[in-house]
Amino acid sequence: MELISLLYGIYPRSETLRKTYGRWERGQMDANEISNVIKDESNAYYDLVKEASLDYFTDPLFNWHDILRPIALSIEGITLGPLARYKATNTFYREPEIEHIGELGDMSSFRVVEENPPFPVYHELDSQSYLHFLPGINSFIKMSKVVGDVSEIREGLKDRYLEIIEKLRIRKLLIYEPFESKDFSIYGDIIEATATFLVTNGNGGDFSTIGSRRFFSIIGDNPYAYAKYCEVPGVKAVDALSTKIGDEAVQRLKPFSSDFDRLIVSNTESFDFLPRVIADRKVFTFKGGA
């Protein structure tokens, strides 16, 4: 069985970047300076994942305070509300408050925004391995306070995602649904627009509503449930909530080895939950290294 490695989500900041953020938050560094540091740190991350021979990886999202905020700040009609707890963790995010879905702002140019490090949203790498990252539409709504009509907002988010794909010329996109979803029909147009990797949570969901269209990959806990709806199924196997280093990924995938020719192996959650020194070592464990 061929293993295809994929790392997604917010990557932990280095000590240098943490200190830089502290200086910027105290007003000791301007927006251009911190933006340059973020770019340099992103390039160092890309060197690391290439050294680890990862097949796919998302942007490290070093200027994302949480998985929703830069997208919320880019769409008219969404404001940032109070802090909310992310799942059963000690991590918090600013809860978006959605009144309506308006126009999409500039995501690709340098600009200063309130309550977030300066844009651009992504520090892109020209590589076939690079994936843009977007939070799942279903989870975005679940994690927000919705004032307007939910169905209209859901469709509006899909339209803005399609606009992001077009404006940024996205070739490969990873969508992360951190909360369990049952209906994935909202992604039909998106998987036609670009090669789409979907990371799910829970016990599956209804993929039949996307018809004959297929994701490039669906990554979750049970590849049997979604294999026929994607080109290459995947399994979340590298534990992002444990500091243990070992061959956990290979062990997790052994039961599937006789039933699949190819499987994507990914992390279970953003590595941002790990100390940077541990994350840098875990990057090398996706195919059994330690």
Structural domain boundaries in the chain: 2-285
Distance CA 6, CA 266 (A): 5
Name 47's Cβ contacts closer than 8 Å, sequence gap at least 6: none
Distance CA 142, CA 177 (A): 10
Closest CA to 145 of 188, 212, 84: 84
Distance CA 34, CA 25 (A): 10
As its CATH architecture, domain 2-285 has: Alpha-Beta Barrel (3.20)
Instruction: List per-residue pLDDT tens for the chain, 290 residues long.
Output: 899 999 999 999 999 999 999 999 999 999 999 999 999 999 999 999 999 999 999 999 999 999 999 999 999 999 999 999 999 888 999 999 999 999 999 999 999 998 899 999 999 999 999 999 999 999 999 999 999 899 999 999 999 999 999 999 999 999 999 999 888 999 999 999 999 999 999 776 778 778 778 999 999 999 999 999 999 999 999 999 999 987 777 778 888 988 999 999 999 999 999 999 999 999 999 876 54
User: Which residues, in sequence order, are bridge partners of residue 131?
Assistant: 58
Name 136's Cβ contacts closer than 8 Å, sequence gap at least 6: 175, 176, 177, 178, 179, 181, 198
